[in-house]
Amino acid sequence: MDMAASLQAATETVVLKLAEAIAQETGMKNLCLAGGVALNCVANGKLFKQGAFEKIWVQPAAGDAGGALGAALAAYHGYLDLPRETCTSYDRMQGSYLGPQFEQSEIERRLTAVGAKFEVLSDEALIEACASDLDRGQALGWFQGRMEFGPRALGGRSILGDARSASMQSTLNLKVKFRESFRPFAPAVLREDVQNWFDYDADSPYMLMVAEVHSSKRIAVPEAEKALFGIEKLKVARSEIPAVTHVDYSARIQTVTVDTNPKYHQLLSQFKAKTGCPVLVNTSFNVRGEPIVNTPEEAFKCFMGTDIERLAIGNCYLRKEQQDPALKISYENAFELD
């Protein structure tokens, strides 16, 4: 823990000093970040808070994989000499939903082929059912539209849960992810509500900014529990959304807008209407050791190998208790811990 904390502190020092020097030398107000270190969302959050730049944009696949985008842009503008156009929206990646998607008829055919039992609901009925499930504390597999490009689940291939639940963090880690219980989860929050729940009022569509939970949403830690150490600290609720609040009150935020992901935004809005809370736990739709699910078959397999209670693929709605028990598989001991 000490080694990790020291490396993080040194990284933050270098990033902040570099950014400050660049701001002074260039006078520019906007900063774009890419490369593996740009995935360090804690450093990104402190860079934003530093205020040397008015706007900061982080490439959602800020690592080796994202180099493909840079190569394509370099060829497009440099080799083909095609002009760059001014972007009037947040960015042209439109939420980074660049992967494959499946038509409703194909989803139904594929699920039927693997023996899944499902209902086909209208958009409104699906959103209502899923929001109600989340309000009851159930874990929801959410497979909608195009898959995300990059290492973060952004509402295309996600597992969602109730951020208000004190047990949701350990439940998802132990019963769905099959990994250490201390690992924090990220909040997905309606963009229009982010400033009311976090000390942050800007876009963070790619879950690459960390900010603290707003003081009005925090819960004072009792004196007797302040002396706790390590994992024991995680058992103390620190805010109204404990499932996404780390021990230092921080959270890795994903802001959700209606223009980039209307169905995801609708689900969050419906959950807010039911509970008054516009925040959900959002983690990638996979178990430890496997990549994020890409097809309906992979989503169903993960659903049947974990304690996820509900699954929404397109307009197909699946309840765990209605599935054939013979299709259940065991992931728990399939992979070593990271």
For 24-63, the pLDDT digits (tens) are 999 999 999 999 999 999 999 999 999 999 999 999 999 8
- pLDDT value of position 87: 77
pLDDT given for residue 335 in this prediction: 54
**Token digits for 185?**
């989860």
Residue-level pLDDT at 69 = 86
Give mean pLDDT, residues 61-74.
89
| pLDDT-based confidence at residue 331 (cuts at 50, 70, 90) | low
Q: Could you tell me where in the chain the CATH 3.30.420.40 domains are found?
A: 2-86
Inform me whether the pLDDT recorded for 181 exceeds 60: no
pLDDT of residue 183: 67
What pLDDT is recorded for position 250?
Answer: 93
The chain-wide mean pLDDT, for the chain, equals 90
Q: In 3-state terms, the chain is what percent helix, strand and coil (to 5)?
A: 40, 15, 45
Angle at CA of residue 230, ends 229 and 236, nearest 5° = 75
- Please state, in angstroms and as integers, the Cα–Cα distance from residue 157 to each residue in 58, 148, 230, 280, following that order: 21, 7, 31, 14
Tokens at 338, concatenated: 């990271």
What distance in Å separates the CA atoms of residue 168 and residue 278, rounded to the nearest whole number? 16
3-state SS class at 81: coil
Contact 155, 256 (CB under 8 A): yes
Q: How far is the C-alpha of 130 from the C-alpha of 142, rounded, in Å? A: 9
Average pLDDT estimate for 200-228: 87
What's the average model confidence in pLDDT over 178-186?
A: 68
pLDDT score recorded for residue 337: 53
Phi/psi of residue 298, nearest 5 degrees: -65, -40
Banded pLDDT at 99 (limits 50, 70, 90): very high
Looking at residue 85, its pLDDT comes to 84
Is 3.30.420.40 the CATH classification of the domain at 2-86?
yes
**pLDDT above 90 covers what percent of the chain?**
71
What integer is the mean pLDDT of 245-250? 88
- Note the pLDDT tens digit of each residue in 134-147: 999 999 999 999 99
Task: Give the separation between CA 198 and CA 217, rounded to whole angstroms.
Answer: 8
* Cβ contacts of 336 within 8 Å, gap of 6 or more: 289
Residues of the chain with CATH 3.90.870.20: 104-327
Average pLDDT over residues 210-216: 95
Q: Tell me the pTM.
A: 0.90
Alpha carbons 234 and 192: distance in angstroms, whole number: 29
The fold for domain 104-327 equals DHBP synthase (3.90.870)
